[in-house]
């Protein structure tokens, strides 16, 4: 339930005074946190070995550098004091997200309804079952083709029966 869009969430996060919300990161930024921890340990290491011969200093600094580099690349999940979600909080968040979804849906009702309407055909769960079904039988096909041919010839026979004059003198009798 962490925020995937973490790059853009940084500003929001800071404005919330550290209070956990739906944009709170589950894992705190590991690099910035770990550098601090490891730097302390590497300093300890240096001070402990400061009595050694000076020729070892180069070796030591190299080791320190390696340690530091490793430390920056490791995410110590256990060491990070992350905000653990409790069962109750999950339920609360589910409710909150549902409310937000409904708000968005209510706002864009027209647009969403249109996009849903365009899906005229629905998904078929087992297409092979339908595709392997029987073909149209011979009688039905014959019925269809013969009916259509008869209908086509009947439709081609349609003619306008000319019974009356196309132009009718209208209301002339009253004027005369």
Partner 1 sequence: MENNLDRVMEEICLDPAVLGCLFADQQGLCIGSKGQASNETSGYITAIANQVAKLEPNSKMPVVTLENENQICMIQKADTITGAIYKKL
Site residues for partner 1 per CB under 8 A: 136, 140-141, 143-145, 147-155, 157-161
Q: How far is the CB of 12 from partner 1 (least distance, A)?
A: 49
Q: How far is the CB of 23 from partner 1 (least distance, A)?
A: 48
Q: How far is the CB of 143 from partner 1 (least distance, A)?
A: 7
49 burial via Cβ count (<10 Å: 0-12, 13-18, 19+) = middle
Token pair of 49, please? Answer: 């070995």
How far, in Å, CA of 30 to CA of 11, rounded?
Answer: 18
Q: How far is the CB of 116 from partner 1 (least distance, A)?
A: 19
Query: Looking at beta carbons only, is 7 or 160 nearer to partner 1?
Result: 160
**Cα–chain-centroid distance for residue 7?**
18
Token pair of 83, please? Answer: 């905000």
Query: Looking at beta carbons only, is 51 or 132 nearer to partner 1?
Result: 132
The answer to whether the CB of 70 falls within 8 A of the CB of 45 is: no
Query: Looking at beta carbons only, is 19 or 139 nearer to partner 1?
Result: 139
Query: Looking at beta carbons only, is 17 or 137 nearer to partner 1?
Result: 137
Q: How far is the CB of 32 from partner 1 (least distance, A)?
A: 59
CA atoms within 13 A on the CB side of 127: 3
Query: Looking at beta carbons only, is 37 or 148 nearer to partner 1?
Result: 148
User: Among residues 81, 68, 69, which one has the least CA distance to residue 29?
Assistant: 81
User: Among residues 41, 25, 30, which one has the least CA distance to residue 74?
Assistant: 30
Q: For residue 10, which phi and psi values (nearest 5 degrees)? A: -60, -40
């Amino acid at each position: 339930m962490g925020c995937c869009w973490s790059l853009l969430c940084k500003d929001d996060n800071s404005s919330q005074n550290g209070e956990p919300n739906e944009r709170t990161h589950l894992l705190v930024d590991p690099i910035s946190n770990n550098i601090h921890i490891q730097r302390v340990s590497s300093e300890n290491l240096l001070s402990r070995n400061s009595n050694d011969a000076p020729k070892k200093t180069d070796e030591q600094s190299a080791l320190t550098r390696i340690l530091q580099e490793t430390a920056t690349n490791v995410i110590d999940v256990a060491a990070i004091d992350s905000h653990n979600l409790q069962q109750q909080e999950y339920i609360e968040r589910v409710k909150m997200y549902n409310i937000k979804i409904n708000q968005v849906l209510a706002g864009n009702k027209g647009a969403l309804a249109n996009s849903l309407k365009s899906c005229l055909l629905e998904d078929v769960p087992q297409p092979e079952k339908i595709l392997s079904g029987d073909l149209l039988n011979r009688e039905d096909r014959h019925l269809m083709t013969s009916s259509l041919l008869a209908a086509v010839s009947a439709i081609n026979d349609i003619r306008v029966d000319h019974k009356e004059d196309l132009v009718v003198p209208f209301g002339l009798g009253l004027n005369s």
